[in-house]
Structure 1
Amino acid sequence: MLPDNLVNRCRAIRTAYRALEIKHHGAEWSIEEDLLALSNDIGNMNRLIMTKQGRYYDETPYRLEHKLAENIWWLIELADRLNIDIQKEMEAFLAEKEKQFGITDKG
């Protein structure tokens, strides 16, 4: 599951970004702007995956591992802003899929 300290660290980083948004733009980003940023990062991740598979040329200054982690961070951030308990929802999702597939060994 997502450890509490990981979620708290995600929140602290987003708080720091919000301070920069207010400083430079006079307001924090909306949820829609956060989603747009995630969409952009997903596009970068797509290119990196295609590059890794030899189907695209490497044009981004990013690493695939970093972009994957950043996209998870954005999802945690969006869940937080939408008042969704992502830890609880991940547990429910995994339990449902384990039941669906008859998985009894959980780790």
Structure 2
Amino acid sequence: MDIKELATRSKAIRERYHEFEINQDGQPWNVEQDALSFLTDAGLVGRKVMDQTGSWPDSNEDVSLDYKIAESIWWLASIADNQNINLEEALDDFLTEREQHLK
């Protein structure tokens, strides 16, 4: 999948979740709530890695590390869309800057 497809599919899924949030809470989550949800999932990525390396007791959760990483990427794509950030350009700029910095 390319970055544009990631952004498009992520936006469509986030819009569907907004519908769920409106039904549940009377309003969609704001970008701050999205960011906090991302941070929660990013923390769970850390826990899953710790589970796999044996430095944290197995959480016995049914959610895999690859799922939590993908969910974290989805949150980032959703937050980028909310903030009118072109994810493809942002990634390209970041990678280019890092490559130049490490030469």
**TM-score > 0.5 by shorter chain:** yes
Distance 2:92 2:47 in 1: 31
State the shift of 1:54 in Å: 0.6
The residue number in structure 1 matching 2:6 is 6
The residue number in structure 1 matching 2:93 is 92
Structure 2: unaligned runs, 5 residues or longer: none
3-state SS in 1 of match to 2:66: helix
The residue number in structure 2 matching 1:49 is 49
Distance 1:39 1:94 in 2: 22
Give matches, 1:62-73, under 5 Å.
62-73=63-74
Residue 23 of structure 1 pairs with residue 23 of structure 2: yes
Indicate conservation of the 8 Å contact 2:3/2:87, yes or no: no
The residue number in structure 1 matching 2:40 is 40
State the shift of 1:87 in Å: 1.0
3-state SS in 2 of match to 1:57: coil
3-state SS in 2 of match to 1:20: helix
Distance 1:6 1:65 in 2: 16
Residue 81 of structure 1 pairs with residue 93 of structure 2: no
Indicate conservation of the 8 Å contact 2:47/2:56, yes or no: yes
Q: Once the two structures are aligned, what percentage of the paired residues are identical?
A: 35
3-state SS in 2 of match to 1:8: helix
Structure 1: unaligned runs, 5 residues or longer: 103-107
3-state SS in 1 of match to 2:92: helix
Residue 57 of structure 2 aligns to which amino acid in structure 1? Y
